[in-house]
Every structure is written in C-alpha cells, then in structure tokens.
Structure 1
Amino acid sequence: MSTLQIDHTSRWFGTLVAVNDVTMDIGPGITGLLGPNGAGKSTLINMMAGFLAPSTGTVSLDGQRIWRNEGIYREIGLVPEQEAMYDFLTGGEFVRANAELHGLADARGAAARALETVEMTQAADRKISTYSKGMRQRVKMASALVHDPSVLLLDEPFNGMDPRQRMHLMELLRRMGEQGRTVLFSSHILEEVEQLASHIEVIVAGRHAASGDFRQIRRLMTDRPHHYAIHSSDDRALASALIADPSTNAVEFDTAEGVLKVQATDFDRFTTLLPRLAREHGIRLLKVSPSDESLESVFSYLVAA
C-alpha cells in the first residue's frame, strides 16, 4: 500500500502561482481532487506523477521524493487530461509501446491484458485517429495500467465518456481502490466525486481549501447561504411571507431586473416552504432559479468558511 505526501508544495510559472503551499496525504483507496477549472489540479497531479518539479516543498511516495526518481515512476500510472496522442499508432501499439518503455518482459501480453481491462480489445487494431474521445480516454487508461502500478492518477478521466463507459470506469476504479491501490482522480463535477470518492481534497485558486469525507464536504456546501432569483405573480406578498420564516434571512426586490432576490439559510426547509406559501397565498411562481450555484461560488464559500 502506497501513500503520496505533498508537503508545503508550491509551483509557479513566471509570476503565475499555480499551486500555493499545499500540504496533504493521499492514501490507499479512492480520493477525489475537486476544484473549479484553473484551480491547479492538473499542476498538482503532474508533480505527483513526476512530470513537474515543485518550486518549493516536496512531493513524495512512501517517503521517497518523486522528482527524477525512476524507481518511483514504475509505481505510478498517469491518465492525463490532454488529448495529444500518437494518432498514427493503433491503440494496441500505443499501449504496447508504454509497456516496452517500462521494460516489461512480456510487453505484448501486458498490453493485451490492459486493453481487455478497459474493454478496448476489439478496437486495439484501429488507429487512434479513428477513436472517439471516450475511446481515447480508455486507451490512455490502458496505457497507465499496463505496468500494474500501485498508484493511479487520473486528470478529469470521465471527460467525453458516454454513460456506459463512465459506469465501467467507475467500477474499475472501485475495484482498484478495494485492492488497496492509491487512486486519485480530479474533477470539477461534484456528482462524479460523490459517486466514487470516499475521501475528498478541495483545491481553489491553487490553495488547499478543504479535506474530509464526502459527507463532511457536502455538509459545508449545503449549510452555506443559498441565493435565489424569483419571478412571481405577486412579489410583495411572497416577500412578506418568506421573510416571516426562519429559513429566509434576506429578501430584496431588484427593480432593475424585476426580480425578487432571496437568501435562504435552511436549504431543505426553504425548498418545501416556497411552493406551500405560494399555494396558500394564491401566488403563481413564474420562475425560480439559483443565482449562486456555480462550483466557483461553492468553492469560494469553502475558502471563507
């Protein structure tokens, strides 16, 4: 069983700080690295994989520094987000080449097993240029698994996959986690992490924002104030009814937009209260939309929490 250790690690590119003083341990099982686009997830994963050197701090595997450590590289498999591949090769040739780079005695056999694991055997003789995005993801996965690593790093692995492919990959990752491998995957989609990861690390603007199991992180997100924009047949009457309830702590009528802006502190209570109050007061709800439900707003709240 292997553990990745990130210790006060930063990485900058010129004046751009991509990762800023991050400390975390990633142990056996499935960990989700959650954060909005541009948060620094890919930079952090590339340092874990040994493709980037930290500007400061250390990234280690079981106490051994990863950067320029060939022995450690053999324990790590990486599925990068980038689409760049050798399109003139077949899928089988691509995976076999990676097996040969790792010096495997039976490169052909290892490649065949890895392709079978990701259900790409039938397409192994086709050129990568003919693959869909989901097929490219799967052949990258086979390439990462071909040397049977103890650590698997996946950067946005579900991009471009259809529902069946996603389910298959999720089952595969679950099995690997149950086998005691250290599996980390990044995502900016909360639902992906919810379905798969037992532990979550949250990165925002290069900083480590939160850490814990999914329920702990979800509770932080659910307990934050929720903002809604509401159009109704009688905004004034609805505002009076809502402000009288403890689930709502602010109501404002925006004359410029012609919308009622509501801040709710009790999400569960508010979502059942709103339709009931509208029915009791004879008010028609024309449109109810969250005004702060982007992941960026959620993560910003986590940073401030």
Structure 2
Amino acid sequence: MELQNVSRWYGNVVAVNDVSMTLGPGVTGLLGPNGAGKTTVLHMMAGFLAPSKGKVTLDGGATWRNPGVYRHLGLVNEREAVHGFLTGYEFVLASAKMHKLPDPAAAAKRAVELVEMTDAQDRRLETYSKGMRQRIRVAAALVHDPQVLLLDEPFNGMDPRQRMHMMSLLHALGDRGHTILFSSHILEEVEQVSGTVQVIVAGRLAASGDYREIRRLMTNRPHVFAVQSSDDRRLAVALIGEESVSGVEIEATGMIVRASDYGSFTRALPRIALKEGIRLRKLLPSDESLESVFSYLLEA
C-alpha cells in the first residue's frame, strides 16, 4: 500500500496535506490527535474517498474506483452500521457471499472462530455488546483472508481479555505477512501491538518508522536515562565531565542522567564505569516510550 504526495480537501478545509507513506507486511499503528486526518487517510486507502491530489495505490493499482482491490483488502471503519436483525454468523456469511468465495459457509465459520465468537454466532447483532460487534465486524473483514487489513479504532468497547486476544490475532497476521494498519487514540495499545508508527498531526505526516528510532533522532531534546550503580555519587562526578552529558540528578533509587547524544552516552558510560571501578546495575531510557515521542511531536 502506497501513498504518494496525497492531499484531500473539503472546500477551503485541508484534511490531509501532502502525505507520503509506504506500508509493507507487518503491523503499523496510525496515530494522531482527534481531527488530525487519520480516518480520511484510511478511507482513501480503502477506496472510499478520492484524493484531491496525489496517488493511493495497492500493488500499483489505484484504490479509487477499482472494486478489484477488495479481493485483497479488508476494512473495519469506526462507524458501527450493522443490520441488527442478522445473527453474527449471518453477517459474516453475507460478507463471504459478496466476495464470491467458493465455500462461503466454511469461510464464515473459520472467520467467526478466529475472533472467538462461535458461542454467540447465532445471536442477533442487536443483542451484542459494543466489543462483540467490533469482533464480528473484524471477522467479516477477514472472511476472504485479505492481504491488507485497515482498522479504525479496532479495540473500541472491548474488555481487557478481548483486547489481548485481538492484539495476539493482529500479531499473528502480521507475522504471516499480512499488511495491517490500525488507528488508535490509546498509545498503550499501539505500543503493545506495534513499534512501527505513522504519526499524523494537523493533516501532515509528522513521523514514520519505529518510535524508538524516531526518539533517538530528536537531537533537540535531551535523552533521559535511569542509572543505578555500586557508587552513584562517584559515578555522577565522573559523568559530569563527559561531553554528551548535560545533567545528572541523584535520587534515592539511583541517578537520572540527561544526555545530548544517545549513542555517545551509551558508549561512554561503560568505559567511565570501568575506569572508576564501579559496577553498573541498571541503565534504562526513561523517556523513550511512545507517549513521550507522541507528546514531543505534538509540541513541535
């Protein structure tokens, strides 16, 4: 899946502005504050919206006005528009029939089992909880085993057990070579499912790739490390003279070290500790979480 200099505007309102990205096999998280343009990007990828400018392609073919892409693509959008009078199984079976699968009943059964909804498959959708509706919609999107899966807020309404199962399922699909893009406003979910992110802020692509690597490229912000050693005070004195260290604080549980350069500091620390005869017990980057990266990107 590829976006090349894609923009989408509504009158004078620019929803997506010159976004380029390439998605390959594996699981990628799509991040951004409310109104950033995430859903617009997903809808252009799924062929629901035409880009005002640029190209959106799947295996080289345009997604807009190209029904053939749906043989290789599955979508779960944020809206929960389902026919409440259908049972869960009937809903997934209808999707299998629309895809003209050779054995739609068997495909529907496999998809329902995949999302652990077999026990409730004969109940009407109108009796389902929000999390159950979400899972049966994922089953309908997976019934034809698409190579690309697009999910808009897929964990909405799920309880912790359901959420963990869905995370495991996405991991397994990604490991099998499927291309999965899912949006979420809960950073912990993205962090657990995928380290690879596409971050959209105000309609623009703010960052792309592994969020840990993105953090290390932010040279304008000091990197913060939690350090414990056999002699924190002596190590702190030695570190103050190191060029890559911009600050050291002694705490009851160890040291907080601020470094201007990630690589230089992590190479210098063991050398300095060895020279001083100090044993290192802990070295942990403490602001390398996805939450830190996301907040830094928003501030920028």
Q: Structure 1 length normalisation: TM-score?
A: 0.73
Residue 60 of structure 1: SS of its match in structure 2?
A: strand
CA distance in 2, matches of 1:87, 1:273: 58
Determine if the alignment matches structure 1 residue 300 to structure 2 residue 292: no
1:178 maps to what in 2?
A: 175
Residue 172 of structure 1: SS of its match in structure 2?
A: helix
Q: RMSD in angstroms over aligned alpha carbons?
A: 2.6
CA distance in 1, matches of 2:293, 2:211: 15
1:66 maps to what in 2?
A: 63
Runs of 4+ in 1 over 3 A off after TM superposition: 217-226, 272-276, 293-299
Deviations 1:225-251 (A, max 9, x none): 89xxxxxxxxxxxxxxxxxxx9xxxxx
Of residues 33, 37, 55, the one that matches 1:36 is 33
1:128 maps to what in 2?
A: 125
Residue 200 of structure 2: SS of its match in structure 1?
A: strand
Residue 122 of structure 1: SS of its match in structure 2?
A: helix
Deviations 1:249-282 (A, max 9, x none): xxxxxxxxxxxxxxxx97xx66x75999xxxxxx
Check 1:225–1:37 CA distance in 2 against 1; reply closer, same or farther (3 A cut). farther
Equivalent position amino acid for 2:115 in 1: V
Check 1:58–1:122 CA distance in 2 against 1; reply closer, same or farther (3 A cut). same
Equivalent position amino acid for 1:154 in 2: L
Deviations 1:12-65 (A, max 9, x none): 122221111100101111111111121111110111111111111110011111
CA distance in 2, matches of 1:88, 1:41: 31
CA distance in 2, matches of 1:124, 1:211: 39
Of residues 129, 138, 141, the one that matches 1:141 is 138
Deviation of the 1:217 alpha carbon: 3.3
The answer to whether the 8 Å contact 1:201/1:212 transfers is yes
Determine if the alignment matches structure 1 residue 154 to structure 2 residue 166: no
Determine if the alignment matches structure 1 residue 89 to structure 2 residue 86: yes
Query: Where do residues 1-305 of structure 1 align in structure 2 (5 Å cutoff)?
Result: 4-219=1-216, 224=221, 273=251, 297-301=295-299, 304=300
Residue 119 of structure 2: SS of its match in structure 1?
A: coil
CA distance in 2, matches of 1:114, 1:71: 21
Check 1:117–1:65 CA distance in 2 against 1; reply closer, same or farther (3 A cut). same
CA distance in 2, matches of 1:144, 1:133: 17
Q: Which moved more, 1:112-121 or 1:62-71?
A: 62-71
Aligned residues: 244
Residue 161 of structure 1: SS of its match in structure 2?
A: coil
Deviation of the 1:221 alpha carbon: 7.8
Residue 5 of structure 2: SS of its match in structure 1?
A: strand
CA distance in 1, matches of 2:220, 2:127: 47
The answer to whether the 8 Å contact 1:36/1:295 transfers is no
Check 1:220–1:161 CA distance in 2 against 1; reply closer, same or farther (3 A cut). farther
Identical aligned residues as a percent: 63
